[in-house]
Structure 1
Amino acid sequence: MSGKVWQRGTTPDDINQKCLQLCADYLGGIWHKLTTDDIEVKILSGGLTNQLYYCGLNEEHRKLVTTEPQEVAIRLYQKKYFNNYDTNDKSERLSDTIIALITSHKNLGPKIYGLFESGQIMAYYQHRVFSSEDERDVQMVTKLAHKLAAIHSLEVPLKLSHNWIVDSYDHFFHLSKQRFDLNSMFNEYDLETLKTHDLSEEIQWMKELILATDSPVTFAHNDFSENNIMVTKSNDIVVCDYEYSCRGYRGYDFGSLLLVWRRNRCEIRKPHEFPDDHTLRQLIEPYIEESVKLNGNEFLKDKRNSVESMLREVKAGTERMTEPKEINTDFSSIKWERGQTPDNIKDRCFDLCRHYLGDVWLNVTIDDIEVKRLSGGLTNQLYYCALNEDHRNTDEEVPQEVAIRLYGGKHFNNYDKQVNERLSDTIVSLLVSEHNLGPKIYGLFESGQILKYYKHKSFRKDEQKDEKLVKELAKKLAKIHALDVPIKRTGNWIFETFDAFYGSANKNYDMKALINECNCETLKMYDLKAEVDWLKDLITKTDSPITFTHVDFRGSNIMITESNGIVLCDFEYACYDYRGYDIGTIFAEWGKGLADIPKPQDFPSDSTFKPFIDSYINESMNLLGKQFSEDKRNSFDHILKEGKIFNLVSNMFFANEAIVVGMPFDKKKAMVF
């Protein structure tokens, strides 16, 4: 079997062009200037589920000094054989996106350069697989044990309630009976073991043994074999292929690894000589040591985490446990409405908290919780969900109150109109949560998010006068603009949106009649299309750097919390574009309260913005060093200029949006812009 090529499907004829376009979109830089003649593309392995390609610059182009990676691995998704995350979820790749980001950020998986609906762009590693020689190297085994402990310690916002192994046994056995006459097959291939033992009874025995073993439920890799453990040239270990990862028994990862311990592929069909206790201790003891470092002494208080107990676990011990209760809710049938609060919103929020938070939420009834609407927003619905006071406990690990965001349709998709408009939400929300810039994420599902609930006030006129808060906000914005986010770096959503909104406004209304009816003096004197074109030209001349941007950086999305400092929210339109848009958006609100929004702005003096801009520059230099300081566009004067120009852009954007977005249209109110 060692010579077998694992490949699924055929290589597309246009694979070179497809890989080049992906690299241009997500890596940018030199990749924009290349043709397919300048790159090398080759299949690495088709795998059993995906296709994996190497894409690199030709040798002559590698001599150029670039900041972009010169070679990458591109994974193109194929259909999964089974979805062990959520069989009711339409998007079987949602968990892949979540897990790829977190394992990349924690240095437990390949570095991610791009995530798109049909695949991933990852760092390419020259490596060997974890071999029988590595298994005899105590230092390498220790490294591997530490990696596995870190994987099992991850907090991943996926469902907590799941038992995919038992479900899969039943599913596969049922399918095999449908497709084949099993007894005839056993006789035809002379399968002695299966001729003498009933397969159904063996499966039932194995299911009972799994439950009896009482293996802790953690985040698990679920395909932790040598082929997915890369040993790099520097002898670092990178674990890959997390596509079947989910909450499950940690013992499955140990079992998958030990199944091939000190065997190569040629020996896979031979009877297995299971490692002795001395060999197992070399893996288990450093695993426990690293787990204590990551989780504290609480880890050792669980008797299942002793060396002796784990020895029994990896061998499948015989201690009994009660079968866990399964929670079955068909989320695909839930219709998340926008506008009116659904009648059964309390049931929906309760089910979500049980699935993703577990613990005390599994021991209460719907009468023991409170649900109320926080805001419907212009795009989403947001709800507060909390345990009643008499059911709260002191366990800070399990949230007692959360915010649940249910997606509505976006008014515009400024990320990529050809893909799922919520893909970027998943990517961005995870990253800003990991970097403590946005709300902590407890759960991500296809139609929304479960977030930490913060008691807070918004950043308004009074907060703008607090220099300490202003400086903290500027530092947060600098950190956002310094983020490396694996989404497309191409496109110009501001220009495209201006054109789209203007086109929709003229299609839906007689603009001249509307302007006269609402007595819009400015628009009577100036042609709106000419103003839009003038502003687009001004944007280009301003030469604002392209960074990752929030795009809706206004006071209502800046939470001043009671104990967590400033937390930014509503990143759903975030993308790569002009950083000046964020600066201009917050400047457009400076010195104004909500009641002042329709009024002309008395724009503050330059000195008003000095604390903000100085703090932004200092933090950016701390984060980016010379890369930032040597760019002349990062001077105080240039950033101030960006803020003023994009203040106009922000106002123009909302003037257009007020007319065309899908909400009840009140002419008098909308046209005040």
Structure 2
Amino acid sequence: MLHEDALNIARHVKSEWKESKIHLKVFTDGITNRLVGCYTDEKPEEMILIRVYGENTHLFIDRQMEIRNMILMNKAGINPPLYCIFENGICYGYTPGQVLDENLVRQPAVCKMIAERLAFMHKLTVENDSRDLEPCLFKILRRYLDLIPDGSEINNRIPNKQHLNREVNLLEKHLSNLGSPIVFCHNDLLLKNIVLNKCNGVTFIDFEYADFNYQAFDIGNHFCEFAGVEKYTPSLYPNKEFQIKWLKNYIVVWNRLNNENKTDEMIEEQIEKLYDQQGIRN
């Protein structure tokens, strides 16, 4: 059924393709969704992706926000186009290249491109957004907690819902005093959401969670992703030397985008401040 539906969408989006020439590829790396690629042998780089949302994912992912994000990213030249929307999914362009792994993400040239690309993304603005700028972090955390029935116990190793709510309140009080700017963030910059393309550098994909958030959160979350998702390896978390070099690449571009000329001493102060705001101490 999935293959038949995917072919129907491909015929709609790419009417010039001959049906007999269309191939399907099922991707298995997704955590919350099912993903199918449609392409032809003549132009495999023009593959389109069809994403079918996972069951009940609308409870914790704002799909309208995701669509807005994909349109915004495409206008900024960061993301391929969004072709169509259907009842339980979307169809959009493919980003050719190689997804990162724990080795590629540490290569100096690659991590420099990631830092620069993220600084550029953090400067994006959303047109016609009348909301007050506030971090989405606590709203999302509370949305997750609201999915837990009152009075339920998850297991004996996880605090109850009331305790977790208190922790979120304490976290909000602490982080709101750090002074980290609220910017447009990816919020899910794990390694498989970064594609290396030899022609265009690095590209970010999957903007389900993108929204305004603390600048330091987006960077700190990216560093945490070095340790893995399915297989958690704390030793892969980057040390201070790596983080400082990464942050310098970011700050230099961030200052340029803000038209700010800083002395070397001022840049070092910015780096140390951002390091303190975002980091987990080794």
In the alignment, what sits opposite 1:93? none
Selected match of 2:30 from 377, 387, 392? 377
**Which of the pair has the greater relative contact order for Cα pairs under 8 Å at 6+ separation?**
2
Counterparts of 1:468 and 1:632 in 2: how far apart (Å)? 21
CA separation of 1:423/1:379 partners in 2, compared to 1, >3 Å: closer, same or farther? same
In the alignment, what sits opposite 2:66? 425
The residue identity in structure 2 corresponding to 1:351 is N
Q: Within the alignment, does 1:614 sit opposite 2:248 as a pair?
A: yes
Counterparts of 1:347 and 1:556 in 2: how far apart (Å)? 27
What are the superposed Cα offsets for residues 481-514 of structure 1, whole Å, 9 maximum, x if unpaired? 0011223543443223333433443637324xx1
CA separation of 1:577/1:488 partners in 2, compared to 1, >3 Å: closer, same or farther? farther
What are the superposed Cα offsets for residues 356-377 of structure 1, whole Å, 9 maximum, x if unpaired? 2332x1xx23x43221321473
Selected match of 2:260 from 626, 638, 652? 626
Displacement after TM superposition at 1:471 (Å): 0.5
CA separation of 1:551/1:594 partners in 2, compared to 1, >3 Å: closer, same or farther? closer
Counterparts of 1:595 and 1:560 in 2: how far apart (Å)? 21
Gaps of 5+ in 2: none
What are the superposed Cα offsets for residues 585-638 of structure 1, whole Å, 9 maximum, x if unpaired? 111123x245641x5567543211122111111111222213999x99981012
Selected match of 2:92 from 446, 451, 457? 451
Q: State whether residues 587 and 643 of structure 1, in contact with CA within 8 Å, keep that contact through their aligned partners in structure 2.
A: no
CA separation of 1:469/1:602 partners in 2, compared to 1, >3 Å: closer, same or farther? closer
Selected match of 2:204 from 523, 548, 568? 568
CA separation of 1:456/1:547 partners in 2, compared to 1, >3 Å: closer, same or farther? same
Selected match of 2:173 from 530, 537, 541? 537
Selected match of 1:405 from 51, 69, 74? 51
In the alignment, what sits opposite 1:351? 8
The residue identity in structure 2 corresponding to 1:445 is I
Displacement after TM superposition at 1:450 (Å): 3.1
The residue identity in structure 2 corresponding to 1:535 is L
In the alignment, what sits opposite 2:213? 577
The residue identity in structure 2 corresponding to 1:505 is I
CA separation of 1:379/1:634 partners in 2, compared to 1, >3 Å: closer, same or farther? farther
Given the two structures, how large is their TM-score scaled by the length of structure 1?
Answer: 0.37
CA separation of 1:454/1:501 partners in 2, compared to 1, >3 Å: closer, same or farther? closer
Q: Within the alignment, does 1:640 sit opposite 2:280 as a pair?
A: no
Displacement after TM superposition at 1:548 (Å): 0.8
Selected match of 1:501 from 114, 122, 144? 144
The residue identity in structure 2 corresponding to 1:444 is C
What are the superposed Cα offsets for residues 31-78 of structure 1, whole Å, 9 maximum, x if unpaired? xxxxxxxxxxxxxxxxxxxxxxxxxxxxxxxxxxxxxxxxxxxxxxxx
Q: Secondary structure at the match of 1:483?
A: coil
What does 1:146-225 correspond to in 2, within 5 Å?
A: none
Q: State whether residues 551 and 575 of structure 1, in contact with CA within 8 Å, keep that contact through their aligned partners in structure 2.
A: yes
Counterparts of 2:220 and 2:63 in 1: how far apart (Å)? 26
CA separation of 1:406/1:633 partners in 2, compared to 1, >3 Å: closer, same or farther? farther
What does 1:508-519 correspond to in 2, within 5 Å?
A: 509-511=152-154, 514-515=155-156
Counterparts of 1:431 and 1:503 in 2: how far apart (Å)? 29
In the alignment, what sits opposite 2:113? 472
The residue identity in structure 2 corresponding to 1:424 is M
Displacement after TM superposition at 1:477 (Å): 0.3
Q: State whether residues 142 and 165 of structure 2, in contact with CA within 8 Å, keep that contact through their aligned partners in structure 1.
A: no
Counterparts of 1:639 and 1:464 in 2: how far apart (Å)? 20
CA separation of 1:605/1:346 partners in 2, compared to 1, >3 Å: closer, same or farther? closer
CA separation of 1:488/1:533 partners in 2, compared to 1, >3 Å: closer, same or farther? same
Q: State whether residues 460 and 593 of structure 1, in contact with CA within 8 Å, keep that contact through their aligned partners in structure 2.
A: no
Counterparts of 1:500 and 1:426 in 2: how far apart (Å)? 20
Displacement after TM superposition at 1:400 (Å): 4.4
Counterparts of 1:500 and 1:595 in 2: how far apart (Å)? 23
Counterparts of 1:594 and 1:636 in 2: how far apart (Å)? 27
CA separation of 1:595/1:551 partners in 2, compared to 1, >3 Å: closer, same or farther? closer
Q: Secondary structure at the match of 1:410?
A: helix
CA separation of 1:566/1:604 partners in 2, compared to 1, >3 Å: closer, same or farther? closer
Q: State whether residues 135 and 182 of structure 2, in contact with CA within 8 Å, keep that contact through their aligned partners in structure 1.
A: no
Displacement after TM superposition at 1:354 (Å): 2.7
Counterparts of 1:370 and 1:356 in 2: how far apart (Å)? 15
CA separation of 1:544/1:633 partners in 2, compared to 1, >3 Å: closer, same or farther? farther
Gaps of 5+ in 1: 1-342, 414-420, 648-673
What does 1:112-123 correspond to in 2, within 5 Å?
A: none
Identity rate, percent: 22
Counterparts of 1:544 and 1:605 in 2: how far apart (Å)? 21
In the alignment, what sits opposite 1:72? none
In the alignment, what sits opposite 1:548? 184
In the alignment, what sits opposite 2:126? 485
Counterparts of 2:252 and 2:36 in 1: how far apart (Å)? 37
CA separation of 1:593/1:376 partners in 2, compared to 1, >3 Å: closer, same or farther? closer
In the alignment, what sits opposite 2:104? 463
CA RMSD of the aligned region, Å? 3.3
Displacement after TM superposition at 1:579 (Å): 1.5
Given the two structures, how large is their TM-score scaled by the length of structure 2?
Answer: 0.81
Q: Secondary structure at the match of 1:542?
A: coil
Displacement after TM superposition at 1:476 (Å): 0.6
Counterparts of 2:122 and 2:58 in 1: how far apart (Å)? 23
Counterparts of 1:530 and 1:633 in 2: how far apart (Å)? 36
The residue identity in structure 2 corresponding to 1:615 is N
In the alignment, what sits opposite 1:35? none
> Which entry has the higher C-alpha Rg, 1 or 2?
1
Displacement after TM superposition at 1:461 (Å): 1.7
